[in-house]
Amino acid sequence: MSMNKPRASVHNRPAGHADASVHGMFNAIAPRYDLLNRLLSFRRDTAWRARLARSLSPHDPRRVLDVATGTGDVLLTLARGLDSLQCGIGLDMATAMLAVGRDKMDRDQHRGILSTLAGDALHIPCADAAFDAVTIAFGIRNVHDVAGALREMYRVLRPGGQLRILEFSLPPNRFVRASYLLYFRHMLPRVGGVISGNPHAYRYLNRTVESFPYGEAFCDILRGQGFESVRAVPLTFGVATLYEAEKAHE
Ligand X SMILES: C[S@@+](CC[C@H](N)C(=O)[O-])C[C@H]1O[C@@H](n2cnc3c(N)ncnc32)[C@H](O)[C@@H]1O
Binding site for ligand X (CB under 6 A): 19, 22-23, 26, 37, 68-70, 73-74, 91-94, 97, 120-122, 137-139, 142-143
Q: How far apart are CB 122 and ligand X at their closest, in Å?
A: 6
Q: How far apart are CB 133 and ligand X at their closest, in Å?
A: 15
Q: For residues 148 and 119, is the Cβ–Cβ distance under 8 A?
A: no
Q: How far apart are CB 123 and ligand X at their closest, in Å?
A: 9
In the bound complex, which residue of the shown chain has the CB atom lying closest to ligand X? 70
Q: How far, in Å, CA of 246 to CA of 177, rounded?
A: 30
Residue number, 18 or 248, with CB nearest to ligand X: 18
DSSP string, 61-81: -SEEEEET-TTSHHHHHHHHH
Laid out side by side, the sheet with 131-137 consists of 114-118, 87-92, 63-67, 131-137, 157-168, 240-246, 228-235
Q: How far apart are CB 2 and ligand X at their closest, in Å?
A: 26
Q: How far, in Å, CA of 70 to CA of 72, rounded?
A: 5
Residue number, 3 or 166, with CB nearest to ligand X: 166
Residue number, 96 or 219, with CB nearest to ligand X: 96
Q: How far apart are CB 243 and ligand X at their closest, in Å?
A: 14
Residue 212 has phi, psi (to 5 degrees) of -95, 140
CA atoms within 13 A on the CB side of 16: 7
Residue number, 23 or 51, with CB nearest to ligand X: 23
Residue number, 120 or 132, with CB nearest to ligand X: 120
Residue number, 11 or 174, with CB nearest to ligand X: 11
Residues 142, 143, 146: CA angle, nearest 5 degrees: 120
Q: State the Cα torsion 190-196-200-202 to the nearest 10°.
A: -60
Residue number, 139 or 213, with CB nearest to ligand X: 139
Q: How far apart are CB 236 and ligand X at their closest, in Å?
A: 15
Q: Which residues contact 115 (CB under 8 A, 6 or more apart)?
A: 87, 88, 89, 90, 105
Q: How far, in Å, CA of 73 to CA of 115, rounded?
A: 12
Q: How far, in Å, CA of 222 to CA of 105, rounded?
A: 31
Q: How far apart are CB 219 and ligand X at their closest, in Å?
A: 20
